Amino acid sequence: MATKVIIDTDPGIDDAMAILFAWLVPSIEIVGLTTIFGNVSVEHATENALRLVEMMGADIPVAMGARRPLVQDLREYPDYVHGKNGFGDVLLGKPTSKSLDISAADFIIEQIMNHPNEISLVAIGPLTNLALALKKEPAIKQNVKEVIFMGGAVTANGNVNPAAEANMISDPHAADIVVTSDWPVTMIGLDVSHQIVMTESYLKEVHNESSFAGSFLHDISGFYLDFHRQYGVDGIYTHDPSTIAYLMDPNLFSIEEGEVRVVTEGIACGKTIMNRDQNKYGKTDWSGIPKLKVCMGVNNVGILELYRKTFINSKDNV
């Protein structure tokens, strides 16, 4: 039976890679995309999600999510990373389709409650929609199959500042709600995504050799490559597609379990701090909350091969 997935996303170049990757995997059924602010505004994220669905020729509903974080002010969009339009400033036509009339949070609740223990919730942007859904319908905790999110960093430096990764700092209050709620969560942070680099030649081979999906991704990756090169990375970090690889084969990752908190103020706002030593303390802010699965190691060659094979094999069937 196919794995039913909702992808909560702020497309975004690596988001587009993750969404197309999931779409090309026969054993994954994307039941919907829910959008969030982050790389771009939620309006733009919704337009980009609709564009991707139209490009895929797929029947996948898109539900627009939160415009701003739960508590803190909206941060500036990182157009220097993904371009002003979120797709590397490649000129694209307006989508002709429309998003659903219900919110992302309501779509998440509706799908999880109508399909108990069937929906995998994959979040690759700020976690505001997930926090809103949890607040509105706490029973999704017992009815979701699993939650996988890209975000945070346990031992690695952040990518916004030494403490914080982008998805976490964009809404730290929402992230702390998600990681302290009692539901099955796996965190895929910079500890692993910074170990997975797609070089320009790899991107060319995978994306040019595959179906239309590949050439679109090749076109929008140029901007993203230039950004990474400024920081001495000869390629792009594979953040969001790592969640789909985990869904397909968790054995590609080594996992630790522990309680995680997200700092919500001060210079380390957005920092994810994991209790990795279970016996050292008395009562702390990590006491009494559930443990997450946190990916700390990864078979980066295996992930790159899985991604490559999926796109290359798609050449004949889309």
Q: Tell me the closest approach of the beta carbon of residue 146 to ligand RIB, in angstroms.
A: 18
82 neighbors 182 (Cβ within 8 angstroms)? no
Residue nearest to ligand RIB (CB): 166
Which residue in 5, 12, 61, 272 binds ligand RIB (CB under 6 A)? 12
Tell me: does residue 8 bind ligand RIB (CB under 6 A). Answer: no
For Ca ion, the closer of residues 181 and 243 by Cβ is 243
Tell me: does residue 217 bind ligand RIB (CB under 6 A). Answer: no
Q: Tell me the closest approach of the beta carbon of residue 204 to ligand RIB, in angstroms.
A: 21
Which residue in 19, 24, 66, 150 binds ligand RIB (CB under 6 A)? 150
Tell me: does residue 125 bind Ca ion (CB under 5 A). Answer: yes
Which residue in 34, 167, 300, 310 binds ligand RIB (CB under 6 A)? 167
Task: Name the segment binding Ca ion (CB under 5 A); options: 3-11, 87-95, 130-138, 307-315.
Answer: 3-11
Q: How many Å separate Cα 46 from the centre of its chain? A: 15
Active site residue 10: yes
Tell me: does residue 124 bind Ca ion (CB under 5 A). Answer: yes
Tell me: does residue 159 bind ligand RIB (CB under 6 A). Answer: yes
Tell me: does residue 69 bind Ca ion (CB under 5 A). Answer: no
Tell me: does residue 10 bind ligand RIB (CB under 6 A). Answer: yes
Active site residue 226: no
Which residue in 34, 35, 39, 186 binds ligand RIB (CB under 6 A)? 39
Catalytic residue among 15, 171, 239, 240: 239
Tell me: does residue 12 bind Ca ion (CB under 5 A). Answer: yes
Tell me: does residue 171 bind Ca ion (CB under 5 A). Answer: no
Amino acid at 50: L
Burial call 142-177: b when 16+ CB within 10 Å, e when fewer: ebbbbbbbbbbbbebebbbeebbbbbbbbbbbbbbb
Tell me: does residue 18 bind Ca ion (CB under 5 A). Answer: no
- Which residues lie near ligand RIB (CB under 6 A)? 10, 12, 14-15, 38-39, 124-125, 150, 159, 165-167, 239-240
- Which residues lie near Ca ion (CB under 5 A)? 10, 12, 15, 124-125, 240
